[in-house]
């Protein structure tokens, strides 16, 4: 098979580079950052005394072009990959750190308009694409550099959206300590600059920015990075004769899990005296737990074990703990950091208050699950855990007292409603609380939608993850050919050739990198 090329064109700020990198990584293709190559040329010209001319001075502009045309032939610009990362070499020097400086940026679109400069760089780009499967982004890739690319995309976004993106980037840069001018934090000025840049790129005589006739228009104004990436990947899949892949937007860490994991890493960075331990595994994912173990983070499995801690830090995971356990941990000599999910804390508050009021507590959830056990521990009276339909049917309560019902945050929403109905049929005065978190409900609903249209469904997550097990259950009911895996190593995907759509979702404890590894593996699997 000859080299497969993907060309992505579009105006500045549309997200071309970010998207192109993700597409290349997913497919195992070489990413060629043409913008970086042009910036390297601009750096070369700057180092050789060339400065941006006054745009109103025709003579200065002409002199600039003549000098740039002569100088560019001496530039030695190459691209290599080191440890999977693209490195731009200028005369053998790694110039990646210098390509985003204001000095180089000020030359943008000026030197690139010089025909000799473009010819020099296009020659290198074409040569690379002849022998390698590449993803290349720029402003004339589909029209000039790779006119025969199998996939061409024109990626755009409104001026307003692109300006807001640039503004946010600049604000974040200032927060991180980078020096920025007042213009960089002026949204209207940024908007005007982008509009001016668009005009220059679209009206230049040599290789102006335009959509190739056979390019697919993708407007990213209201789309996320992952959505745009998947759109392009599925265009490539069709050309390659592979099934399209649909990945759930809700797949991966939920807010609570992300916060818990981030907190542990922040504690590691603080490097304070004493050990760092989590009370129970921070999340139900063996890969994350093992990685933290390698960084010196231990696991305390009981209050007795925690009681031996006279210093250091104990981190309560997002599942939360019983009230008594929380109090015991705070009586140790260690500093306690509580990362209990806000949704879980809400359940604790409901259960504690309702039990104090004399109400009977029913928790619909999994027996033995850390979150369920913790919630039981916030009831001042005995609480009942219901996991199965049979338990719901057989539940008996004092008819004179209100039954307060809550759900484990990750419980199946449909099952919860069914169990509540079964309890209500016994004539009890029930008080139902919708405590399944929004993220869980959305994740389950999206998994069901994808599974209904998929020929193959892949669910990623730890075997001990309750919410992942429920996702598998939901998907399996809609798609018979459903896989439940922890990592890409568990995936033995066998395709017959008739599959058109492969769906992917993941539990709330599944890191993004594991999801991406599975995606990449699936996209590279031939029939």
CA distance 31 to 23: 8
Residues in the chain: 527
The two tokens of residue 15 are 């997200």
CA distance 371 to 408: 7
The two tokens of residue 31 are 């990413």
Q: Measure the CA angle with vertex 292, ends 286 and 293; round to 5°.
A: 85
499 labelled catalytic:
no
Nearest to 200 by CA among 108, 91, 74, 88: 108
Q: How far is CA 59 from CA 55, 56, 110, 407, in A?
A: 10, 9, 15, 75
Nearest to 491 by CA among 479, 482, 478: 482
Q: Are the C-beta atoms of residues 240 and 259 closer than 8 Å to each other?
A: no
Active-site option among 42, 371, 373, 446: 371
The alpha-helical segments, DSSP class H, found in 210-277 are: 225-240, 255-270
Q: Are the C-beta atoms of residues 431 and 404 closer than 8 Å to each other?
A: yes
Nearest to 242 by CA among 514, 505, 498: 498
As beta bridge partners, residue 88 has 79
Q: How far is CA 352 from CA 297, 383, 404, 423, 436, in A?
A: 32, 11, 11, 21, 18
The two tokens of residue 351 are 């259960």
The two tokens of residue 227 are 């959505």
Q: Token match 């009370």: residue?
A: 279
CA distance 163 to 180: 16
CA distance 10 to 209: 7
CA distance 461 to 508: 8
Question: DSSP secondary structure string, 434-467?
Answer: --S-HHHHHHHHHHHHHHHH-SEEEEE--TT-HH
Burial class (CB in 10 A: 0-12, 13-18, 19+), 402: middle
CA distance 313 to 322: 19
SS3 201: helix
Catalytic residues, which ones? 371
């Amino acid at each position: 098979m000859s080299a497969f090329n993907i060309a992505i064109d579009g105006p500045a700020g549309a997200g071309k580079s970010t998207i192109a990198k993700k597409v290349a990584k997913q497919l195992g293709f070489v990413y060629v950052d043409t913008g970086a190559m042009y910036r390297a040329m601009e750096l070369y010209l700057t180092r050789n005394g060339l400065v941006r001319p006054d745009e109103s001075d025709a003579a200065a502009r002409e002199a600039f072009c003549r000098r740039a045309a002569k100088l560019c032939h001496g530039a030695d610009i190459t691209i290599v990959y080191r440890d999977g990362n693209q490195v731009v070499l200028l005369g053998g020097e790694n110039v990646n750190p210098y390509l985003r400086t204001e000095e180089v940026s000020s030359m943008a679109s000026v030197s690139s308009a010089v025909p000799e400069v473009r010819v020099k760089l296009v020659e290198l780009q074409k040569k690379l694409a002849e022998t390698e499967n590449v993803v290349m982004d720029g402003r004339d890739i589909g029209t000039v550099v790779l006119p025969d690319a199998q996939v061409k995309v024109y990626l755009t976004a409104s001026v307003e959206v692109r300006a807001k993106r640039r503004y946010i980037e600049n604000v974040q840069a200032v927060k991180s300590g980078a020096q920025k001018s007042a213009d960089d934090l002026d949204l209207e000025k940024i908007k005007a600059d982008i509009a001016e840049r668009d005009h220059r790129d679209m009206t230049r005589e040599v290789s102006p920015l335009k959509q190739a006739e056979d390019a697919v228009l993708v407007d990213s104004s209201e789309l996320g990075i992952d959505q745009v990436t998947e759109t392009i990947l599925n265009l490539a899949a069709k050309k390659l004769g592979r099934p399209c892949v649909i990945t759930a937007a809700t797949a991966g860490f939920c807010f609570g899990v992300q916060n818990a994991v981030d907190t542990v890493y922040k504690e590691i960075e603080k490097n304070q005296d004493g050990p760092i331990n989590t009370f129970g595994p921070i999340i139900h994912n063996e890969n994350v737990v093992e990685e933290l173990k390698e960084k010196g983070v231990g696991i305390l499995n009981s209050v007795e074990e925690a009681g031996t801690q006279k210093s250091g830090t104990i981190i309560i995971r997002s599942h939360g703990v019983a009230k008594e356990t929380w109090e015991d941990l705070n009586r140790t000599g260690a500093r306690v950091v509580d990362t209990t999910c806000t949704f879980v804390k809400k359940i604790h508050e409901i259960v504690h208050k309702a039990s104090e009021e004399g109400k009977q507590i029913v928790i619909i959830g999994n027996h033995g699950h850390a979150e369920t056990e913790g919630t039981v521990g916030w009831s001042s009276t005995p609480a009942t855990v219901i996991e199965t339909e049979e338990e719901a049917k057989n539940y008996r309560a004092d008819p004179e007292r209100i039954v307060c019902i809550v759900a484990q945050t990750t419980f199946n929403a449909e099952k919860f409603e069914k169990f509540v109905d079964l309890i209500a049929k016994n004539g009890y005065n029930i008080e139902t609380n919708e405590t399944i978190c929004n993220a869980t409900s959305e994740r389950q609903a999206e998994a069901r939608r994808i599974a209904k249209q998929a020929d193959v469904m892949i669910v990623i997550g730890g075997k001990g993850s309750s919410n992942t097990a429920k996702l598998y259950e939901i998907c399996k009911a809609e798609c018979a050919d459903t896989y439940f895996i922890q990592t890409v190593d568990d995936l033995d995907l066998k395709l017959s050739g008739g599959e058109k759509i492969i769906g992917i979702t993941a539990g709330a404890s599944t890191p993004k990198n594991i999801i991406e590894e599975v995606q990449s593996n699936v996209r590279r699997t031939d029939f």
